[in-house]
Amino acid sequence: MVEKIIKDVGQVEKPSPFVKWAGGKRKLLDYLNALKPRTFGEYYEPFVGAGALLFDLTPPVATISDLNDELINIYKCIKSKKTYPVLLTILEQHEISHSEDHYYKTRGIDREADYRNRSRAERAARAIYLNKTCFNGLYRVNSNGFFNVPSAKKTSVKIYDLENLKRLHKYLNKKRVKIRCCDFERAVKKASEGDFVYFDPPYDQDENQSFISYTQVPFNKLDQKRLFDTFCSLTEKGVLVMLSNSDTPYIRELYSNYYIHTAYAYRLINSKADGRSKVRELIITNYRGEENVDLGKNN
């Protein structure tokens, strides 16, 4: 088990996650920082989610991606100098208008035939608003791709932190950060020797775990195997790879020839309130984490 490390961030103000996301990595940052490579080239994060590690590292050159187009649209809107101020205005309107009726009316917009014709800023603001006001901050869609999480029944809400969004807008524009909506395999095609890839996929599920659909298509065992094959291909190219996943027999067997580290975190987002607990997770690397950096097998 990796010992926790206390980081001194001084007075540097970094962005922080602007949405709640199931499986977010804020609680695991000490572990991830203890295991990250000391130095690396371009940073890749194909399952970026809420971006906890991305914002903690704030790498100068990065490619972030996700298959959830609503999430990626938010990132692009925050980065764009054209859509960013419009996004802020619409967020303020949602905050002022919040009510149970407004929540369900806003949630139902994606059922409308012209939903995809709405502006990027309007769609991004809707996604942030629903994330901050839905039950437990879940992101869940049905088989038709429609958001279907009930309201958290909050009477008043704060759906955005202006100063944090300013920091994020500045970071995404000051640094060379590419934002893509694509499959993980395609997202890391250009990764080369010395680059660093962090995979945080939908976790492998056993029979006792509930499943949360982030997209219309579930991430199944075949996808886990395809991710493993990508992990191996990147290793052969000399790319430094770190991956988070659940501690299941399947994942342990799949990555048995790599370095497997155990981590513990409280998971606060769950479809059932009594499902919140401290869970054991795995962080897998293709290099020795503590002695960075030595590609090879797990002893």
- Domain regions of the chain by residue span: 26-67+182-210+217-285, 74-162
Nearest 5°: CA angle at 142, between 84 and 104? 60
* Rounded Cα gap, residues 228 and 7, in angstroms: 31
* Rounded Cα gap, residues 40 and 27, in angstroms: 23
What single string gives the DSSP state of each residue in 254-292? HTTTSEEEEEEEEE---SSGGG-EEEEEEEEESB-STT-
Encoded tokens for 192: 């080369």
* Contact partners, residue 299, CB within 8 Å, separation at least 6: none
Q: Which of 54, 53, 62, 155 is nearest to 103 (CA)?
A: 155
Q: What is the pTM of this model?
A: 0.87
Looking at the chain, the whole-number percentage of residues with pLDDT higher than 90 is: 73
Kindly indicate the confidence band of residue 278, based on its pLDDT and cuts at 50, 70 and 90.
confident
- Right CATH number for 26-67+182-210+217-285 from 3.40.50.970, 3.20.20.80, 3.40.50.11810, 3.40.50.150? 3.40.50.150
Q: Which residue type, as a one-letter code, is found at position 45?
A: E
How confident is the model at residue 159, as a pLDDT? 95
Q: Are 52 and 26 in contact (CB under 8 A)?
A: yes
Mean pLDDT of the chain: 87
The neighbouring-strand residues paired with 196 are 43, 240
Per-residue pLDDT of 60-113, as tens digits, reads 999 999 999 999 999 999 999 999 999 999 999 999 999 999 999 999 999 999
Q: If you search the block for the tokens 């095609």, which residue do you land on?
A: 189
How confident is the model at residue 26, as a pLDDT? 81
Q: Are β-strands 240-246 and 259-267 bridged in parallel, bridged antiparallel, or unpaired? A: unpaired
Fold of domain 74-162: Adenine-specific Methyltransferase; domain 2 (1.10.1020)
How confident is the model at residue 132, as a pLDDT? 95
Q: Residue 271 above 80 pLDDT?
A: no
Q: Are 268 and 262 in contact (CB under 8 A)?
A: no
Looking at the chain, the whole-number percentage of residues with pLDDT higher than 70 is: 84
Task: Flag the least confident range among 137-141, 157-161, 235-239.
Answer: 137-141
- Mean pLDDT on 115-122: 96
The neighbouring-strand residues paired with 125 are none
Per-residue pLDDT of 174-221, as tens digits, reads 889 999 999 999 999 999 999 999 999 999 987 545 445 555 567 899
**Dihedral (C-alpha) 82, 87, 89, 93: value to the nearest 10 degrees?**
160
How confident is the model at residue 213, as a pLDDT? 53
Q: Are 219 and 201 in contact (CB under 8 A)?
A: yes
